[in-house]
Homo-oligomer: A and B are copies of this chain.
Amino acid sequence: METEFMSASGTIRQQRVGRVAVSGVSGYAGGELARLLLAHPKTKDLAPLFVGRMIEPGAAQTTTTLAELHPQLAGAAGDTVIAPFDFKTLVEEGVSLLFLATPHEQSREWVPDAMAQGIRVVDLSGAWRLKQAENHSVYKLVDANPETAALFQAEAVFGCPELHRETIANARLVANPGCYSTSIILALAPLVRAGLVDLDHGIVCDSKSGVSGAGKAPTAKTHFMSAADNLSAYSIFGHRHTGELLEQLGLTNSQIQFTPHLLPIPRGILSTMYLRLKDKGTTKELETLLRDFYATSPMVRVRHGGHAGSHLPQIQYVVRTNFCDIGVEVAGDGKRVVMVSCLDNLLKGAAGQAVQNMNVMYGWNESEGLL
């Protein structure tokens, strides 16, 4: 199966659709991505490539396997080798899409090279998510070629399929959203876009994430003794994902207050959001608005509330799925609103959403390989 795409910056070369590669499988999101692609009906038979370091000229090419990095993947899939690579080889191997589950700096450096070879990219880092300089600056990235970088930054599509399905379909570079951002944007976008929210009053987003969100590096913060039986707030007024909220929801800094917390669980995010309506509304009206907004989005589930709250989203309901669950409650005064959204930070917040973007980019069923 061959195909050809046109984009602002030129032609995407003919490649085997569905032959994909991943760089950065050693981390938690990368491991999940490998697992998903090896089981995905459209990609599993085309042998997804898992690639590690670049090939250094003259260096010994040591290899490792998926199962050595992620012992739970042992079995047939676990024998898959992590190969060194260069972009030319990827092209020769017929790779049409590259997932980067790499550090921000590496993603920033590699994307232009991948593009030069006509390979489409879904980047899971924060390197290409932000358009505005003041938001982007938190990543302190340095570009070898600032002009090229600026071009790609302008072209990059924010990979939230529920909001940007059409542009993602034809994108060469998809910037996969942050985990916290996804949980907040999906809950708020329908109300904000409908103009219902009193933005002058501002929105409070109190988010809580499991420890996998802090990465695989052993640190004092990720030590079991620090994280277990604990809860802590961090990065108050200063978390990197704030810029995504501002740009995607069209807000200013003073209109949204986002505070992340570290939960003593392996995975899952719950965001509790507080806002006021411009005009009076009811829980039922907002639920209907949400259901309509996501009527054609298979990975969002609108949960029915009730003041007991027993049916509101819970982390347990979404962990190890690609769903984002959303619930809403309006106070008796018809003005004050509480929203709750949940997702798995490694799936809908990272690897699962990346696969969902791939599905959209290739015109497959959006939830293919994700249910």
Residues of A that sit less than 8 Å from B by CB: 28, 39, 71-72, 74-77, 201-202, 204, 206, 208, 211-212, 216, 218-220, 222-238, 254, 257, 259, 261, 263-266, 268, 270, 272, 274, 298, 301, 303, 305, 307-321, 323, 325, 329, 331-333, 335-336, 338, 340, 371
The binding surface of chain A is classed by DSSP as loop
- Tell me if B338 and A259 are in contact (CB < 8 A): yes
Which residues in B have their C-beta under 8 angstroms from that of A238?
307
Q: How far is the CB of A348 from chain B (nearest CB, A)?
A: 13
Interface centre among A208, A233, A317, A318 (most CB of B within 10 A): A233
Which residues in B have their C-beta under 8 angstroms from that of A265?
228-231, 264
- Tell me if A272 and B229 are in contact (CB < 8 A): no
- Tell me if B231 and A274 are in contact (CB < 8 A): no
Residue of B nearest to A210 (CB): B229
Selected from B76, B235, B317, B371, the residue in CB contact (under 8 A) with A371 is B76
Q: How far is the CB of A164 from chain B (nearest CB, A)?
A: 22
Selected from B202, B225, B335, the residue in CB contact (under 8 A) with A266 is B225
Q: Complex: how many Å from CA A265 to CA B225?
A: 9
Q: Mind listing 14 A-B residue pairs with CB under 8 Å?
A: A28-B225, A71-B311, A74-B317, A204-B206, A206-B206, A211-B228, A218-B223, A222-B224, A224-B224, A228-B265, A229-B316, A230-B268, A232-B314, A254-B336
Q: How far is the CB of A98 from chain B (nearest CB, A)?
A: 26
Q: How far is the CB of A151 from chain B (nearest CB, A)?
A: 32
Selected from B75, B204, B223, B232, the residue in CB contact (under 8 A) with A312 is B232
Which residues in B have their C-beta under 8 angstroms from that of A28?
225
- Tell me if A201 and B201 are in contact (CB < 8 A): yes
Residue of B nearest to A269 (CB): B231
Q: How far is the CB of A64 from chain B (nearest CB, A)?
A: 14
Q: Complex: how many Å from CA A238 to CA B338?
A: 12
Q: How far is the CB of A101 from chain B (nearest CB, A)?
A: 16
- Tell me if B211 and A266 are in contact (CB < 8 A): no
Which residues in B have their C-beta under 8 angstroms from that of A223?
216, 218, 222-224
Q: Complex: how many Å from CA A335 to CA B237?
A: 12
Which residues in B have their C-beta under 8 angstroms from that of A71?
303, 311, 314, 317
- Tell me if B314 and A236 are in contact (CB < 8 A): no
Which residues in B have their C-beta under 8 angstroms from that of A298?
75
- Tell me if A318 and B232 are in contact (CB < 8 A): no
- Tell me if B331 and A229 are in contact (CB < 8 A): no
Selected from B314, B323, B336, the residue in CB contact (under 8 A) with A75 is B323
Q: Complex: how many Å from CA A208 to CA B264?
A: 12
Q: Complex: how many Å from CA A248 to CA B371?
A: 38
* Given A74-B301, A74-B323, A229-B266, 8 additional A-B pairs, CB 8 A: A72-B317, A75-B298, A208-B231, A216-B223, A230-B314, A233-B272, A233-B340, A236-B329
Which residues in B have their C-beta under 8 angstroms from that of A315?
229-232
